[in-house]
Amino acid sequence: MRRAAVTLQSHWRGRSARRQLGAQHVAAVTVQAAWRCHVQRRAFCRQRRAAVRIQSHVRRRAGVARLTAARTAATVIQAAWRGHSTRTKMCQRAEAAVRVQAGWRGWATRSRFFAQKRAAVVIQAHARRRAAQSSFAEQRSAVVTLQAAWRGRAARLLARQVRAAIVIQKLVRGAAAQRQFIAARAAAIRIQSAWRCAEHRRRYKALQSATVRVQAAFRCYRGRSVFQRQRASAMTIQSAWRAHVDLLRWRTEVAKRRVAAVIIQAAVRSRRDRARYLKLRGAAVKVRTLRIISSAECSCPLLDHFHNRAS
């Protein structure tokens, strides 16, 4: 009986131990499964957060790269256009300077030609008068010959004085015209530099405000697609380009009007100075002639008497 009881107790204890061990095994498996699920969930959350951060950094870096490329392209386009506009302006200024120089040289050449022509006409007239007086003196008397010689000498002196006065007037007018041209060119350069400075400041402010607006729009619509950002950038570049083209047209029109005004002013001043010079020269010639005639009449009344009788 005792052995049977021990056997039963041992079987019961073994069964209880196996049951307890099975329960502990199930509990351990449950705890391990829960712990592994927690570890996997935490690792998955970490990986997802890391992936989200990586994606945000990559997207931000790609956006910055696209913005930098667009800004670089806009800078290159602006530099090329400014170089082209500067070269165009320099060519226009060179052509205008060549035209002004050609007009001035033509006017100076014509003035010299007309002065030489008038001097030649005066010399020819005096020579013909001298020849006529010589032939008349040979036919009439020695008194007329002396009068003709005296008048020829006076005429030559007058011609020399007239030529000297013409040369002096030409030099003085040339120096005055050169000074006026240098002053006008310096004033034009100062005005152009001030205008360009103001224009560059206004353009810089416009570009700065445009850049601020583009940045605000980019930050506001950063979540939109690439196509919408490119379209907004294209529209901004087109508006800036049209404004720049309108500005160039306006500046070209102002330059043309300025050149036309300068040409008209030069023509009016040249005509006024030429008329004043002709009046002064005629008055000087008349006064000189009257002085020579009065001095000749006072010195040789007898010769004039014979000349009047002969004529």
Contact predicate 133/146, CB 8 Å: no
* Average pLDDT, integer, range 224-232: 76
End-to-end Cα spacing for the chain: 201
pLDDT class for 222, splitting at 50, 70, 90? confident
| Cα gap 136→152, rounded to integer Å | 14
How many Cα atoms occupy the beta-carbon half-sphere of 296 within 13 Å?
A: 20
pLDDT of residue 169: 84
Of 256, 213, 247, 207, the closest CA to residue 232 belongs to 213
pLDDT in tens, 40-70: 888 899 888 888 889 888 888 888 888 888 8
Contact predicate 228/221, CB 8 Å: yes
Q: Is the pLDDT of residue 163 over 80?
A: yes
pLDDT of residue 298: 55
pLDDT in tens, 70-93: 888 888 888 889 888 888 888 888
pLDDT of residue 303: 41
Q: Of the ranges 55-64, 152-161, 287-296, which one carries the lowest mean pLDDT score?
A: 287-296
Contact predicate 259/96, CB 8 Å: yes
Q: Is the pLDDT of residue 300 over 80?
A: no
Stated pTM of the model: 0.23
pLDDT class for 297, splitting at 50, 70, 90? low
- Mean confidence (pLDDT) of the chain: 82
Q: Is the pLDDT of residue 275 over 80?
A: yes
| Cα gap 65→282, rounded to integer Å | 81
pLDDT of residue 302: 44
Reading the block at residue 85, the tokens are 């506009």
Domain ranges of the chain: 66-310
Q: Is the pLDDT of residue 310 over 50?
A: no
Q: Is the pLDDT of residue 216 over 80?
A: no
For residue 11, how far is the Cα from the chain centroid? 113
* Average pLDDT, integer, range 295-301: 57
Q: Is the pLDDT of residue 306 over 60?
A: no
